[in-house]
Structure 1
Amino acid sequence: MSRKFQVKAIPSTWLENNGRRLDCGPYMAGAVEIRELLKKHKTDVLPDLTAGHDGGIYNGPQFERNYVDDAQHGVPFLTTTFMMQADLSRLPLLSKKDAQSRKLNYLRVHEGMTLITCSGTVGRTIYARSDMNGVWSNQDILKIVADPKRIPSGYLNAYLCTRFGVPFVVSGKYGSVITHLEPKHFSDLLVPRLGETIEQEAHNLVEQSAALLANYQANLTEATELYFDSVGLKDITASEWHSWGSDLGFAATAGVQTLRALNFNPRFQRLCELIKQGPWKPLGELCVPGTLKRGSRFNRIDADPEYAYRLVGQKELFWLRPEGRWIARKFVPNDVLVESGSILVAARGTLGESELYCRASFIHGKLTENAYSEDILRVIGNEKEIERGALFAFMRSESAFRMLRSISVGSKLQDHHYSMLPSLPIPYPSSDIRKRCNDLVIAAYEAREKAIELEDQARSLVERTIEEGGR
């Protein structure tokens, strides 16, 4: 595919008004044109609308990250990668002692903040919801704290995410290989004032969206807890898993399937035996025959969205708003698409504690419109045996994560041992419990989809009002 170049002629006044910057970023991003459009509105500069630490626009210092396994000694830690995910229940834990120190205590997230990635891929933006209270963020996430006396926080977030706000946000980035944003780059960011009615309406939409995402998280957590409680079990934690000892110096009887020690580790065997003490069935009996495999390999031919599927990879699989390249429909196999209720598991990666390898996601609603890469394991429940949402309530658990990792094969890049997958023991609650778990999961994903729609409505409202005022 040929490389596309952009060319634009600009007046010399633009150079003077932008500090005589000679790099093309500020002029190509559209911020200058938008600044001209906003002259038709009453505007404020962003620092006049924020309050709090360092005036309400800040990131953090570089610091050594000391991670812990026990939640009693740690706080959930948000990085730029995890920030984009929908399910925040598996965040790594930063040492509580470090987090609450004078140096880092102001990095705590509070609901209503706007969080923006400011290193690497800069400008990705989310709105902090209530279940993010008590989470700490890293130095590569910039916080914008709206002063409630001057501007509704939801409106400010909606504006910064519009096609008018995003160019302002990214126009100040600098760096060649790794780009950065700093608080000082927001000193002259213009915010249009669209009137109390519009601003409050946009704020309410964003707040409703945040509440729905909090419900999404709560329903998923409740579904998993109910699933385990109903069979007399409790999902293990990372701390418990590591407290069971190391995987060194043990004896095991090797079968013909594998000779890798990891596949016989005592912690894995102990976890399987715990599950087998109650009602259970092997994973293979609960899934549609012929599934429990990764997708096909295929040539990826780029195409316009009108003739293409959005191809989602392992990382984007877990994002609230999955991104991906557009690939021609004509050249892809059928199994790049998955049906509603499918459970997709990251099937390639390394064994780092915070890696996504072996984490599971659920497909429902508009997520079925995407295509999914060959590096993703398809787990499709047989609805005659188990409700698919109920199966996901278990597959998203720490117990399932540890079992899946224990059947890994490979050297650097790990994959699953597909002969061992069908025999993994899955707790099997009564039909009424399975239905309740399924209902909770479905309700969670419907809330998530509605939350995205409300965010989009808020952004469209702001964009439409700015455009109409500029005519």
Structure 2
Amino acid sequence: MKYRQLNSKDIFKSKRFDGSFHNADVNVYDSVITRHSLHHLSYYCSEIFTSGRNKRVYTTPEFGDPFLSNSDASSASPFTTCKYSSKKYGFDEKAILKGGMILTGRVGAIGQTVFVPKYWENFRTQGSDNIIRIVVKPQFRNGFIYAYLASRIGNLSFWRHATGGVQPFITDKMVGELPIPEFPDTFQQEVDDLIQESARLREEAADMLSEADRLLKKEAGLRDLVPEDYDYYGPRNAERKVSCFTIKRKDITTTTINAFNLSERIRKTKASITCTTKPLREVLLGGETFSSTSVPSIEVKPEHGVMFINQKDIFDNIIKGKWVSKRNVSLDRLVEYGEVIVACDGTLGENELFCRALFANEDLSGALISTHFIRMKSDGVPSGYLYTWLNSDYGFRFIRNCQAGTKLCHPIPKMFLEIPVPIISEESMNQIDTMVKNAYTKRYEANNCERKAIRMVEQEIEKWNKH
């Protein structure tokens, strides 16, 4: 049974006598924060605003600027899945995201908070009108304020002010009224340093992955794809018609799959790759892919279980899976460092994470992922190199080109294994592999810095709650 001691003043102030109200975490922590707060968030900020709804003209990356939704902004690779707003017709100065801003969701994803790294400015990154921008004054520590707002307690504070039934929302004025706890300057500085270090590491990781992609294309004699190539290598979801399954996949039926016929189009595309290639099956351990087995979703405390990650959570900066019982979980099916993972189930239309590749770093090692992933262990080429190829615009469209389904799509296994993999010099492949591993280790270190900063804030607030 949950209980707590209350002062009669709290009851008179709230005008509520029922225990469920006073024991609810959202109200418990609000009273704690309010007692240890001197100012609301607006005091620390020069601006808290949304960009407003401007004319949207989406185009291809070469003619547009990244246009991020709230889910894109919280992704580990935001520019991989976002839309691009026309530089000529869709540019909105007010929508530009600047380094050091704190972003939070206005509708639906309330409390989903992101710290904007400085390098986003280089791409003229814009954010949607569903993102609230929080601009902290230079004399205050934006990293500390972000750590509080991104914490579990900060998230509860957002939801206490949110309103709406079917579609909850929060306004920029409501966000400005959030109480911010007071901590000693030394503590705030330590937390702020961790968040700034996290942003720096993420920028370095992004630069490394971009350089790995450039090196692969240079050594393989490949150029960046342009819109005219999209149909040839497999169109984007939003540009892809359901009729393409009958027009361009006449040999695909629900009863027979002829691997020779299905891979004909993939074999033809090898003509555009001037270097030597091998089919994917020849660079995989055992010549095949594998998936996790299904597990019962019995949630337990972290110390008694294993983290289970689904397709929605795995692409986030900070992965927040759930902990499930180890019972009936085959430990040899846990993710191992260096695996290359591809999201293999998705809906036709807006899910751009479908068919995206991941590299299993220290964050994923030892976790359990859902059955909706294709998992690979490389053999013959370094794992980081294989990831770079499958994550490139070529690899992504090759994977898309071998998918089947009218609503819930998935790659055809035999066709997937025929995807050509460029074989460049061993020295270059090892160099790319090192870049990828270093980049993903930096992402892991960045996550550790952010988690530590948030944990420090939460632990200090919990001390107040005990008194």
**TM bucket by the smaller chain?**
0.7 to 0.9
Change in CA separation of 1:131 and 1:463 when aligned onto 2, cut-off 3 Å: same
Residue 79 of structure 2 is matched in structure 1 by 89
Deviation larger for 11-20 or 27-36: 11-20
Which shifted more, 152-161 or 244-253? 244-253
Task: Mark the runs of 5 or more structure 2 residues left unpaired by the alignment.
Answer: none
Residue in structure 2 matched with residue 46 of structure 1 by the alignment: 41
Q: 1:271 to 1:15 in 2, by over 3 A?
A: farther
Is 1:108–2:109 an aligned residue pair?
Answer: no
User: Which residue pairs with 2:453 in the alignment?
Assistant: 458
Deviation at 1:83, TM superposition (A): 2.2
What is the aligned-residue RMSD (CA, Å)? 3.5
User: Is the CA contact (8 Å cut-off) linking 1:67 and 1:94 kept in structure 2?
Assistant: yes
C-alpha separation in 1, matches of 2:359 and 2:128: 28
Offset, 1:190: 1.8
Q: For 2:356 and 2:344, locate their aligned partners in 1 and report how far apart those are by CA, in whole Å.
A: 9
Q: Does 1:308 align with 2:305?
A: yes
Distance in 2, matches of 1:399 and 1:353, equals 20
8 A Cα contact 1:351 1:405, kept in partner? no
Q: Distance in 2 between matches of 1:469 and 1:25?
A: 20
28-37 vs 161-170, greater mean Cα deviation: 28-37
Q: Against the structure 1 CA distance between its residues 167 and 13, is the aligned structure 2 distance closer, same or farther, given a 3 Å change threshold?
A: farther
8 Å CA contact retained: 1:291, 1:378: no
- Structure 1 length normalisation: TM-score? 0.85
Structure 1 position 375 matched with structure 2 position 366: no
Taking structure 2 as the reference length, the TM-score comes to 0.85
Structure 1 residues 42-441: aligned runs within 5 Å: 43-51=38-46, 56-62=47-53, 65-72=56-63, 74-90=64-80, 91-101=82-92, 105-133=93-121, 134-149=124-139, 151-237=140-226, 240-241=229-230, 258=257, 271-275=269-273, 277-289=274-286, 291-334=288-331, 336-352=333-349, 355-382=352-379, 385-441=380-436
Closer/same/farther in 2, CA of residues 237 and 312 from structure 1, 3 Å limit: farther
1:186 maps to amino acid:
V
How many residue pairs end up in the alignment? 452
1:349 positional shift: 1.2
Measure, in 2, the Cα distance between the counterparts of 1:153 and 1:363: 31
Q: Is the 8 A contact 1:283 1:424 kept in 2?
A: yes
Structure 2 Cα separation of the partners of residues 251 and 301 of structure 1: 43
For residues 407-429 of structure 1, the C-alpha deviation after alignment (integer angstroms, 9 at most, x for no partner) is 11223211111111222111111
Give 1:369 shift: 2.3
What SS does structure 1 have at the residue aligned with 2:444? Answer: helix
**Partner amino acid for 1:59?**
T
Q: Shift of the alpha carbon at 1:430?
A: 0.7
Aligned partners of 1:113, 1:251: CA distance in 2, in Å? 46
Q: 1:6 & 1:454 partners in 2: Cα distance?
A: 33
Task: Give the 3-state SS of the residue equivalent to 2:66 in structure 1.
Answer: strand
| Secondary structure, aligned partner of 1:318 | coil
- Aligned AA (2:132): L
User: Structure 1: 5+ residue runs without aligned partners?
Assistant: none
Take 1:243 and 1:254, find their aligned partners in 2: how far apart are those partners? 17
Deviation at 1:11, TM superposition (A): 7.3
How far residue 208 of structure 1 moved from its aligned partner, in angstroms, is 0.9
Q: Which residue number corresponds to residue 31 of structure 2? A: 35
Shift of residue 35 of structure 1?
3.5
C-alpha displacement of 1:131: 2.4
Give the distance between the partners of 2:416 and 2:165, measured in 1 at CA: 44
| Residue-by-residue CA offset, 1:30-52 (whole Å, 9 max, x unaligned) | 3454434553x46221111101x
Q: Which amino acid aligns with 2:60?
A: D
Give SS of 2:168's match: coil
Q: CA deviation at 1:288?
A: 0.6
**Displacement, 1:165?**
2.8
Q: Return 355-364 or 249-258, whichever deviates more.
A: 249-258
